[in-house]
Chain A
Amino acid sequence: MNIPTHLPNVNRMIHAYRVAPWRVQRQWIGGALLVVLVFAMVGALYLNVTSRTAIAGREIQDLTDAIAASRQASSDLQTQLAGLTSAVSMETRAREMGFRPVEPDELEYLVVPGYVAPRAVDLSSPSETQLNVLAIPPEYNQSLLDWMDERLMSARRFQ
């Protein structure tokens, strides 16, 4: 076999192989194992993120259904309550308890200083939180590449 011996690196390798062939093999195996390890780590990370995303997605589905069911149940209960306190029901209950409609000549209009009668109901609920894109944590809509990109960006920012 003709081996080009004029190249110093090749000569060095041949010499090393002849002295201790297992060293080179170990280097090759070590390199291969490193590659496998890197792939395994990336794979595990990807699997982890994907499974967590899937679980989160399923939770979103369940919560969406639960929210819809809760809203319907709330509306149903509200309607039942309104039925129990309807004008006819309340009047019937009042009469059963011995009340009767007041006659105009039995009334005396009292002026309460500072009292202002409310004009109409206000059903606004300022405390109601509005679900928007900004309120959703990034874990729910960020891909692995997005996450890595964000980490790199933040690392550069702090350099």
Chain B
Amino acid sequence: MRQQYGRRSQVLAGALALFALTIVAQMTRIQNSPEAEIFRQRSEAYAYEYRTFYPNRGEIYDRKGRLLAGEKIVYEVGVDLNIMTDPHAISFAVADTLGMDYDGLMEVIQNPPEGLSYLILADYVEAEQALYLQELKKALNREAPEGSTGGLTGLQFKSHPQRSYPENALASNILGFVNREGLGYFGVEEKYDSLLAGNPVTVLAPTDPNKAFEIPRAPDGTTLILTVDRDLQSAAEDILDNALWEYGARDGLIAIMNPRTGELYAMAVAQRMNLNNFWNYGAVYSNATEFNPAISMTYEPGSVMKILTMAAALDSGTVTPETTYLDTGSILVGGVTVQNWDRNPWGLQNMVGCLQYSLNVCMVTLSTQMGAGTFYDYMDAFGLGHLTGVDLAYEAPGRLKVPGDADWYPVDLGTNAFGQGVAVTPIQMMSAISAVANKGRMVIPHVLYAMVRDGRQHEVPEQFGATPISEQTAATLSEMLAVSLEQESSLALVPGYRVAGKTGTAQIPIDGIYDSAQTNVSFIGWGPVDAPQFMIYVWLERPTTSSWSSETAAPVFSQMAQRAVIILDIPPDSVRPQLASQ
């Protein structure tokens, strides 16, 4: 009996073993069959896929944390040709919703490029339009049975970010813009493109979940905080627009900077563009220098330059504020007679009167007394003819002709002293004159306040330029300019705040001859004089109501300063001692 069981067990064990061996053999055969190779190749085709990662471009904020440039979601609308059932319905729906050409869409869908199974019909589609198409697809697909015509099966939507500027045209000249390829143009967007950019990255990513760690991460761009104050920028643009209309000026700008740190609070220009419609750039501007004239436009500064000439004369010891001279109304320099703005003699004047009445003859006297070497050394130290280093794209260096240059003539020593024959940019003048407001040390104008990356904010350290004049000279000249404004009862004065500044009326050279009827007017001023917190530069091109800056640019400065002290929370002169005593 036991032997029988044993034999049966052996037979059963043998049969099971044979069955197991058969399974193993069959598995081995299948694994090595030609069909298995085909399946392996197919699976490898699905093992990796091209994926495009769209990291967020760094945002841009103003100094109070208001978003100036961010990201919004837009859609790529495409069609999967493998599952598409009704090209007519898709073409009609897309053409009708997005305003595209129906025939063109049909042509593309029915005759796709060789080997393509997915076609992009439209990109950068606004969210509302994409959502409408998605709802339409759902509704039509409910009506149309699977595989039948009339549905939008195959229509696909992929979201991705696009640069968006919630303030539209505000500060457009500072921000610049980003095109659809993700490249920054002009302003901060171009200057800090490499920091801001989190450019889309297309990689071969594994679909195998065991290889999830191989999926690359495209790091987001760095967020920037600017020194710009949105409210002040908005106010500056409003005031500038009103000034252009009130004085009949063709063009103009207002720039506001902290003369102690170089932080640019605002930079308003006349021609601004809605950055969300960046493709209109060519219609708004005829060349790149028009995008931000505050840094790109070179011009003759006119009498504003007298601040630098006087600073050089005081610092070199050529004159003191009390030094007098007899103004005869004209002076010969380099064989050319230079006259005052009114062509009249002003008699005995000291240096305060020289600035107060903006006397050209006085300036020529100073520059010739200093000599070309000293005068141009100072102008070079003030940075004329050099880039200021402002962190915005397309800054122009200007031009300061010096003895030895082929186009320098002895008369230039005289005319340069009162702002003719020298090409500067507005930002250059602000940087140079900041030395007077900042104890003799120039600042480097900048718009970047801080960077935020991985949740940490890194503030940009303060940077300073050259020190062309002494602290004593700066204080003396500030006082002279403040007194000259007060004695003149200038329209630039700001109630409650003592300010220093200078008008500039520059005749416009036309075919080499200065046209006295057409002028560019400007005013640069800062305050409070004892502890400057703002410097404002106003420039207007060819005002028609008056050709004098004292009647045009000066009141604009005052208006702007009155708004600035409110927005920047600067206490009046009468209150500041109380704060200091606390």
Contact = CB atoms under 8 A, between A and B. Distances in A.
Interface of A: 21-22, 25, 29, 50, 53-58, 60-61, 64, 68-69, 71-73, 75-76, 78-83, 85-88, 91, 102, 104-105, 107, 109, 111, 113, 117, 120-126, 128, 130, 141
B64 to A, nearest CB: 6
Contacts of B5: 22
Given A25-B6, A68-B53, A123-B457, A60 B575 contact: no
A109 B209 contact: no
Contacts of B227: 120
* A-B complex: 9 closest residue pairs judged by Cβ atoms: A57-B209, A121-B65, A82-B166, A82-B67, A128-B455, A124-B457, A79-B70, A57-B212, A83-B166
22 contacts: A53-B210, A57-B209, A57-B211, A71-B56, A72-B160, A75-B59, A76-B71, A78-B59, A81-B67, A88-B234, A104-B495, A105-B495, A107-B566, A109-B572, A111-B578, A111-B582, A113-B582, A117-B569, A120-B63, A120-B64, A124-B455, A128-B455
Interface residues of B, number: 63
Contact of B70 (A75, A104, A125, A130): A75
B168 interface: yes
Interface string B87-107: 000000000000000000000
B70 A82 contact: yes
Contact of B73 (A29, A73, A113): A73
B579 A111 contact: yes
Given A121-B65, A130-B454, A87 B209 contact: no
Given A79-B72, A104-B496, A120-B450, A141 B209 contact: no
Contacts of A91: 234
Contacts of B70: 75, 78-79, 82
B170 A88 contact: yes
B71 A75 contact: yes
A86 B168 contact: yes
B182 interface: no
A124 B455 CA distance: 5
A123 B451 CA distance: 9
B4 to A, nearest CB: 12
A73 B159 CA distance: 10
A110 B56 CA distance: 43
Given A85-B66, A123-B457, A124-B452, 18 more contacts: A22-B2, A22-B5, A57-B208, A57-B212, A60-B212, A60-B215, A61-B212, A72-B73, A75-B56, A79-B70, A80-B72, A91-B234, A109-B571, A111-B579, A120-B64, A120-B450, A121-B225, A126-B456
Interface in B32-59: 53-54, 56, 59
A111 B211 contact: no
B161 A75 contact: yes
A87 B230 contact: yes
B575 A111 contact: yes
A18 to B, nearest CB: 13
Contact of A123 (B166, B215, B225, B582): B225
A24 to B, nearest CB: 11
B6 A78 contact: no
A111 B569 CA distance: 11
Interface of B: 2, 5-6, 9, 13, 53-54, 56, 59, 61, 63-67, 70-73, 127, 159-161, 164, 166-168, 170, 208-213, 215, 217, 220, 223, 225, 227, 230-231, 233-234, 449-450, 452, 454-457, 495-496, 562, 565-566, 569, 571-572, 575, 578-579, 582
B64 A76 contact: no
B63 A121 contact: yes
Contacts of A82: 66-67, 70, 166-167
A105 B496 CA distance: 10
B309 to A, nearest CB: 34
A104 B225 CA distance: 29
A120 B6 contact: no
A49 B562 CA distance: 72
Contacts of A126: 455-456
Nearest to A111: B578
A55 B208 CA distance: 10
Nearest to B3: A21
A125 B65 CA distance: 14
B455 A64 contact: no
Contacts of B2: 22
A120 B65 CA distance: 8
Nearest to B582: A113
Contacts of A50: 210
A87 B231 contact: yes
Nearest to A26: B9
Contact of B9 (A25, A54, A85): A25
Contacts of A125: 455
Contacts of B59: 75, 78
Contacts of B164: 79, 83
Contacts of B159: 69, 72
A61 B217 CA distance: 11
B161 A87 contact: no
B457 A76 contact: no
A120 B449 contact: yes
Given A72-B73, A75-B56, A128-B455, A58 B161 contact: no
Contacts of B230: 87
Give the most central of A73, A87, A102, A121: most B CB within 10 Å.
A87
A61 B215 contact: yes
Nearest to B449: A120
A22 B73 CA distance: 77
Given A57-B212, A71-B56, A22 B225 contact: no
A21 B167 contact: no
B166 to A, nearest CB: 4
Contacts of B495: 104-105
Give the most central of A54, A80, A124: most B CB within 10 Å.
A124
A21 to B, nearest CB: 7
A55 B209 CA distance: 7
B209 A79 contact: no
A100 B389 CA distance: 39
Contacts of B167: 82, 86-88
Contacts of B578: 111
A86 B215 CA distance: 38
Nearest to B74: A76
B210 A57 contact: yes
Given A25-B9, A54-B209, A121-B225, A79 B566 contact: no
Contacts of A21: 6
Nearest to B167: A86
Given A57-B210, A111-B578, A79 B63 contact: no
